[in-house]
Amino acid sequence: MNVQSLPLQNKTQRIASIDAAKTIVIFCVILIHLDPYYYFVFLKQPFIYQAVYFLVSKIFTVGISLFFLASGYFFGQSLLKEGFSERVAARYLKKILFLYGIWTFIYLFFSWIKIGNFLGDGFLLASLHYGEAFLNWFSEVSMLRLIFEGTTYHLWFLMSLFCCMLFTSLFAKKRVILWALAFLCFLLSLQNAVYAPWLCHPSEILQLMQRTLYYFVFFVLGYHWAGRPVPRPFWCPLLLVVGILGHSTEIFLQVPLYFGNLILSSGIFLFLRYNPALGKNSFLSSSGQLTLGIYVVHVFVLEVLRPWIDLIPVWIGSAVYPGAIYFGALGATVVLQKIPGLRRLVS
């Protein structure tokens, strides 16, 4: 999830404020995936649960937008410093494709292993349940879905990032075509809400690529800002104010038009560029450099820790679960980075 940590990182200058923001954003992503406020259901407050879940999931989509903006920015920096060399683009593409392929393979076998089942049902019975669930899933999933979404719900990001890099590198020297393609993809994605891929498009390929189509313009915008001076200061607060108003209005009206998200995330990104030393030498900025590893491994950690969290009262579990998953994924990433043969899994 962090293009800046891919090969050639020595050729791009880190920005502490963006690294710090990544730590906050990845924690927000974990909150969305964990649904920790589910305890409202146990308190027989389903309406409050639905309201909180809706608001949090919509607000935190700005974080995903920031990831694509930052990825496009650092990808563009590397291309510019190497004179738009095809070898540079190829290295990034190979790296992302490797990560997507290896984690798709890992989660192919792991996603149906529920550690709690082995603890409660015993090895034999849990193995039979695992085999049945695995075969049912494998017989139902389409090849297109396997290609574009992988074997678990969070791997879509890597394939989307790969597609964004691929098309940006193909049209890197043809800005007009690149922008035209980005806005065309953006308009196509607005047929339905970007974070609701289960709302069917006329074709499965458009349904599966809906989020990729939407976030491509964010990647291109970040790429556009690479190597350019920060726009005039008045743009940052203007974009922030208009973006907050626009995004809040879209959330309130529940409309599938995310122009507010585009404006708001652009304002936040410019703010981070205006203040590059924000969070320097802090835990936030240092752990933000490990975002990619934390993202790919956190679902694995989630399944390992889930049965132990389930043993405590739900309201306590809801409070400690997100932090436990984040620091568990952070620790796993640090360990894997120190093992030469496994370092490529998380960086």
- The predicted pLDDT at position 194 comes to 47
Token pair of 283, please?
């835990």
Q: Are 62 and 264 in contact (CB under 8 A)?
A: yes
Q: Are 93 and 166 in contact (CB under 8 A)?
A: yes
- The predicted pLDDT at position 133 comes to 67
Of the chain, the percentage scoring pLDDT greater than 70 comes to: 81
* pLDDT tops 80 at residue 39: no
CA distance 271 to 244: 14
Q: What is the pTM for the complete model shown?
A: 0.84
Digit-coded pLDDT (tens) for 123-147: 666 666 666 666 666 667 777 878 8
CB atoms within 10 A of CB 145: 17
Q: By C-alpha distance, which of 34, 18, 154, 26 is closest to 99? A: 154
Quick one: average pLDDT of 317-344? 89
Q: Find which of 108-112, 187-191, 230-234, 282-286 is predicted with most confidence, using mean pLDDT.
A: 282-286
Find how far residue 276's CA is from the centre of its chain. 22
- The predicted pLDDT at position 197 comes to 40
Q: Map 26-58 to HEC letters.
A: HHHHHHHHHCHHHHHHHCCCHHHHHHHHHHHHH
Mean pLDDT of the chain: 81
Q: Map 274-287 to HEC letters.
A: HCCCCCCCCHHHHH
pLDDT higher at 342 or 8: 342
pLDDT category of residue 333 using cuts at 50, 70 and 90: very high
- Backbone torsion region of residue 35, taken as left when φ is above 0, otherwise alpha when ψ lies between -120 and 50, otherwise beta: left
Degrees to nearest 5, angle at CA 58 with 54 and 63:
140
pLDDT higher at 303 or 106: 106
Digit-coded pLDDT (tens) for 68-123: 999 999 998 888 887 777 888 888 999 999 999 999 888 877 655 555 555 556 66
CA distance 163 to 151: 18
pLDDT category of residue 203 using cuts at 50, 70 and 90: low
